[in-house]
């Protein structure tokens, strides 16, 4: 250490971070011991076998089945189940994904899209993993645009059954977790056709393997083979050759087919119905964002602790070499990422709380449509931002550990490879940010998950007269902070929270208004090229979405600081929040300068203050990662077990070695 000591007790900070679902976090930390820890360097076959085995050993009471209805043994707490999955991601990401596919996607779809007959028949076996399942939505040819799935499921009133069929190779179900080896049943998404009319995508429960593990008649299962990571998850490809599916296997909460083939639904419009169904499955995206951030915390913990033990190059006039964490360049890598991870922790907590509130046991009909769309938008945006942050940060952490960071025994390669898929699964990040933008542009009116309605978005945008940003968290505190900022930026310190909030708000509002203006302009001049209207502003639109998510993240951080009770923890959080806010502003200073919201002098001052913050937070680095409270057994990194005597010799050993050399 630098001879400097943190004044903050990590346990106090941990309380704030653990937040509303602390009990779930504690339960998982205590319930999943050394048996669950990753095995570096195992083969794909070994990983699959280990994870298949482990998923049945997770104690159900740690929260993993919380989202199931209480009448079947769950607690109906969507929030608890998201947090439990997030914690699994710190143990082993293959285990988290395997569990997420089975309980979250498969089980979640049966709960949300099925009715009592499905629940009675299957939920208990799903909870105990007696009936391992898959979520068969994505096709080789259609991943982002799932509304256009090509698999058909056609009702035949003469037999009272559906005919499930894969029309060509691009329509096979692809990348399906749990399919290559373990899945016995799948929730399959396909175009429902009855009485000669198509009603859009619906879901069916379809047995894909018999008791002895052989594919069912008409079902062909392939193996997606080796992947970058997630070796323990058996991703597969499923094709259906006119497979007969009983009528009652249709998950019919949102659309029903009578014995004679008559179709009924409480939602008339096919698109609206499909995206309402998808909306009930939003938990998957919330979970992926949280899992990505959880894994990022493991990586940061490893890199910060290594940087506090690893020395390289001597200081003039000092025999002992310099700790990596004492270098400004190293602080510039680790600390802004750490501050961003803190910010996302609070944003994710808000999101999970909103999910729990919006979706807790209420039937779809009673849900406020605006809030539901807003939830979907934030889930999409935070998923994108957290997963990109994970990819960038884990990469940076691996580089910050030098050659050691490349060895499997030090965990970082696994964290990197396993989380890599998160940027594209549960929705490609770029596509997700477009969804966020679409919601903003339309004020969530008719802003469904589909992206083909950009024309309509343009139309709605034309109606919007003035954009009013809706503050998300701790509204009164934020209002007070913003109001306290004097009119002229020059009169306020760059560490003023109200100024940060104003800068974030200004950027979002300005970008949004600009996007609307450009879409309107395009609609007027490019009537014959409707695709170009949207495509020409695609970068602007994505930037708008990012600015929006940045803003709600900062607001959540501010709200989180308010909740802290320990004064020292609160003060430290405020400095971390300064670093987060200024990191965002510094990274986008070009934009602020272009738009007259930073003068050149003030822009340079921001960089100076960021460097000051790095220096002042240096002694807190270890505290900041200790507060993540990732158990050492889970971190499973050899460089930490041997800390500090392997990185460098011990002081005594090295003294002796140096003595020989002088």
Binding mask 636-655 for a copy of itself (x = CB under 8 A): ---------xxxxxx--xx-
- End-to-end CA, the chain: 26
C-alpha 404/C-alpha 398 separation (Å) is 8
* Min CB(525)–a copy of itself separation in Å: 16
Tokens 């965990």 map to which residue? Answer: 411
* Min CB(142)–a copy of itself separation in Å: 7
Using CB under 8 A, count the residues that bind a copy of itself.
104
Rule CB under 8 A: which of 488-517 touch a copy of itself? none
* Min CB(588)–a copy of itself separation in Å: 8
Of 120 and 319, nearer to a copy of itself (C-beta) is: 319
C-alpha 392/C-alpha 344 separation (Å) is 14
Q: Which range touches a copy of itself (CB under 8 A), out of 52-60, 321-329, 470-478, 575-583? A: 321-329
Neighbouring-strand partners of residue 219: 240
Asked if 656 touches a copy of itself (CB under 8 A), the answer is yes
Nearest to residue 350, comparing CAs of 559, 84, 580?
A: 559
Of 326 and 376, nearer to a copy of itself (C-beta) is: 326
Non-local CB neighbours of 30 within 8 Å, separated by 6+ positions: none
**Cβ atoms within 10 Å, residue 400:** 26
Does residue 467 contact residue 437 with C-beta atoms inside 8 Å?
no
H or E stretch at 202: strand 197-207
Rule CB under 8 A: which of 179-218 touch a copy of itself? 191, 193, 198
Q: Which range touches a copy of itself (CB under 8 A), out of 171-179, 241-249, 252-260, 339-347? A: 171-179
* Min CB(392)–a copy of itself separation in Å: 9
* Min CB(181)–a copy of itself separation in Å: 15
* Residues shown for the chain: 662
C-alpha 489/C-alpha 600 separation (Å) is 13
Q: Which range touches a copy of itself (CB under 8 A), out of 103-111, 292-300, 427-435, 557-565? A: 427-435
Of 131 and 581, nearer to a copy of itself (C-beta) is: 581
Tell how far CA 573 is from the center of its chain: 23
Active-site residue, 426 included: yes
Neighbouring-strand partners of residue 347: none
6 phi/psi in degrees, rounded to 5? -70, 145
Tokens 């083909």 map to which residue? Answer: 452
Of residues 161, 271, 395, 633, which one binds a copy of itself by CB under 8 A?
395
Of 248 and 648, nearer to a copy of itself (C-beta) is: 648
Q: With the C-alpha atoms ordered 149, 542, 397, 346, is the resulting torsion angle positive or negative? A: negative
Q: How buried is 164 (Cβ within 10 angstroms: 0-12 exposed, 13-18 middle, 19+ buried)?
A: buried
Q: Which range touches a copy of itself (CB under 8 A), out of 103-111, 169-177, 338-346, 459-467? A: 169-177
Asked if 589 touches a copy of itself (CB under 8 A), the answer is yes
307 phi/psi in degrees, rounded to 5? -65, -15
Non-local CB neighbours of 526 within 8 Å, separated by 6+ positions: 532, 533, 536
Of 169 and 362, nearer to a copy of itself (C-beta) is: 169
Catalytic residue among 15, 426, 586, 620: 426
Rule CB under 8 A: which of 605-634 touch a copy of itself? 611
Of 4 and 362, nearer to a copy of itself (C-beta) is: 4
Asked if 383 touches a copy of itself (CB under 8 A), the answer is no
Quick one: angle between helices 328-359 and 369-400, nearest 10? Answer: 150
Angle CA(29)–CA(31)–CA(32) in degrees, nearest 5?
Answer: 75
**Cβ atoms within 10 Å, residue 650:** 11
Does residue 339 contact residue 577 with C-beta atoms inside 8 Å?
yes
578 phi/psi in degrees, rounded to 5? -55, -50
Q: Which range touches a copy of itself (CB under 8 A), out of 325-333, 438-446, 567-575, 576-584? A: 325-333
Of 454 and 557, nearer to a copy of itself (C-beta) is: 454
Asked if 37 touches a copy of itself (CB under 8 A), the answer is no
Rule CB under 8 A: which of 518-547 touch a copy of itself? 530-531, 535-536, 538-539, 542
Rule CB under 8 A: which of 407-426 touch a copy of itself? 407-409, 412-413, 416-417, 420-421, 423-425
Binding mask 132-151 for a copy of itself (x = CB under 8 A): ------x-xxxxxx--x-x-
Asked if 271 touches a copy of itself (CB under 8 A), the answer is no
* Min CB(606)–a copy of itself separation in Å: 10
Asked if 462 touches a copy of itself (CB under 8 A), the answer is no
- Which tokens is 137 given? 């939505």
Rule CB under 8 A: which of 226-255 touch a copy of itself? 226-229
Of 47 and 245, nearer to a copy of itself (C-beta) is: 47
Asked if 318 touches a copy of itself (CB under 8 A), the answer is yes
C-alpha 482/C-alpha 301 separation (Å) is 34
Q: Which range touches a copy of itself (CB under 8 A), out of 29-37, 123-131, 323-331, 346-354? A: 323-331
* Min CB(42)–a copy of itself separation in Å: 8
* Min CB(206)–a copy of itself separation in Å: 19
Peptide bond into 435 cis (omega under 30): no
* Min CB(358)–a copy of itself separation in Å: 28
C-alpha 425/C-alpha 146 separation (Å) is 13
Of 265 and 429, nearer to a copy of itself (C-beta) is: 429
Rule CB under 8 A: which of 91-130 touch a copy of itself? none
Of residues 314, 360, 362, 479, which one binds a copy of itself by CB under 8 A?
314
Alpha helices in 443-537 (DSSP H): 454-463, 475-483, 497-525, 530-535
Tell how far CA 8 is from the center of its chain: 29
* Min CB(646)–a copy of itself separation in Å: 6
Of 183 and 236, nearer to a copy of itself (C-beta) is: 236
**Cβ atoms within 10 Å, residue 130:** 11
Please count the CA atoms within 13 angstroms of the CA of 599 that sit on its side-chain side: 8
Strand 263-264 to strand 185-194: parallel, antiparallel, or no bridges (unpaired)? unpaired
Asked if 43 touches a copy of itself (CB under 8 A), the answer is yes
Asked if 163 touches a copy of itself (CB under 8 A), the answer is no
Catalytic (active-site) positions: 426
């Amino acid at each position: 250490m630098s001879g400097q000591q943190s004044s903050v007790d990590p346990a106090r900070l941990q309380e704030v971070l653990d937040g509303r679902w602390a009990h779930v976090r504690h339960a998982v930390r205590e319930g999943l011991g050394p048996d669950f820890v990753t095995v570096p360097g195992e083969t794909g076959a070994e990983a699959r076998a280990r994870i298949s085995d482990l998923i049945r050993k997770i104690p159900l009471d740690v929260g993993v089945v919380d989202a199931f209805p209480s009448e079947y043994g769950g607690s109906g707490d969507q929030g608890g189940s998201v947090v439990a999955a997030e914690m699994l991601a710190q143990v082993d990401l293959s285990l988290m994904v395997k569990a997420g596919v089975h309980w979250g996607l498969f089980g979640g779809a049966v709960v949300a899209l099925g009715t009592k007959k499905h629940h009675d028949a299957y939920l208990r076996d799903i909870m105990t993993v007696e009936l391992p399942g898959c979520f068969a939505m994505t096709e080789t040819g259609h991943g982002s645009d799932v509304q256009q799935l090509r698999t058909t499921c056609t009702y035949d009133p003469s037999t009272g059954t559906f005919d499930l069929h894969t029309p060509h190779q691009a329509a096979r179900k692809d990348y399906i977790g749990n399919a290559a080896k373990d899945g016995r049943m799948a929730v399959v998404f396909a175009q429902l056709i009855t009485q000669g009319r198509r009603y859009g995508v619906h879901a069916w429960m379809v047995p894909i393997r018999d008791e002895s593990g052989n594919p069912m008649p008409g079902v062909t299962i392939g193996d997606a083979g080796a992947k970058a990571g997630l070796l323990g998850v058996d991703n597969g490809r499923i094709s259906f050759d006119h497979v007969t599916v009983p009528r009652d296997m249709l998950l019919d909460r949102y659309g029903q087919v009578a014995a004679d083939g008559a179709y009924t639904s409480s939602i008339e419009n096919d698109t609206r119905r499909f995206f309402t169904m998808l909306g009930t499955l939003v938990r998957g995206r919330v979970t992926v964002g949280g899992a990505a951030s959880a894994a990022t915390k493991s990586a940061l913990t490893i890199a910060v602790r290594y940087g506090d033990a690893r020395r390289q190059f001597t200081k003039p006039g000092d025999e002992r070499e310099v700790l990596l964490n004492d270098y400004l360049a190293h602080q510039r890598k680790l600390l802004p990422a750490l501050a961003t991870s803190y910010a996302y922790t609070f944003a994710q907590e808000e999101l999970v709380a909103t999910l729990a509130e919006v979706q807790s046991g209420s039937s779809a009909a009673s849900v406020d449509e605006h809030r539901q769309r807003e939830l979907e938008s934030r889930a999409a945006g935070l998923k994108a931002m957290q997963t990109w942050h994970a990819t960038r940060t884990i990469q940076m952490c691996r580089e910050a550990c030098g050659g050691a960071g490349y060895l499997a025994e030090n965990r970082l390669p696994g964290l990197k490879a396993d989380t890599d898929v998160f940027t594209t699964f549960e929705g490609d990040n770029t596509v997700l940010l477009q969804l966020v933008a679409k919601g903003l542009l339309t004020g969530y009116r008719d802003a469904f998950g589909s992206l083909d309605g950009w024309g309509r978005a343009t139309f709605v945008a034309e109606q919007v007269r003035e954009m009013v940003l809706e503050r998300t968290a701790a509204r009164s505190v934020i209002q007070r902070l913003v109001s306290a900022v004097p009119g002229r930026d020059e009169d306020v310190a760059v560490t003023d929270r109200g100024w940060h909030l104003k800068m974030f708000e200004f950027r979002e509002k300005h970008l949004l208004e600009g996007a609307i203006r450009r879409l309107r302009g395009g609609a007027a001049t490019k009537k014959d090229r409707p695709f170009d209207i949207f495509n020409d502003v695609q970068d602007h639109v994505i930037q708008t979405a990012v600015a929006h998510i940045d803003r709600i993240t900062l607001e959540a951080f501010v709200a989180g600081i308010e909740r802290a009770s320990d004064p020292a923890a609160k003060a430290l959080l405020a400095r971390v929040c300064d670093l987060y806010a200024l990191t965002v502003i510094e990274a986008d200073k070009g934009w602020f300068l272009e738009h007259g919201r930073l003068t050149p002098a003030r822009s340079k001052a921001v960089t100076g203050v960021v460097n000051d913050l790095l220096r002042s937070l240096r002694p807190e680095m270890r505290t900041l990662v200790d507060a993540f409270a990732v158990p050492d057994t889970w971190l499973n990194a050899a460089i930490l077990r041997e800390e500090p005597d392997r990185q460098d010799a011990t002081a005594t050993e090295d003294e002796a070695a140096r003595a020989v050399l002088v």
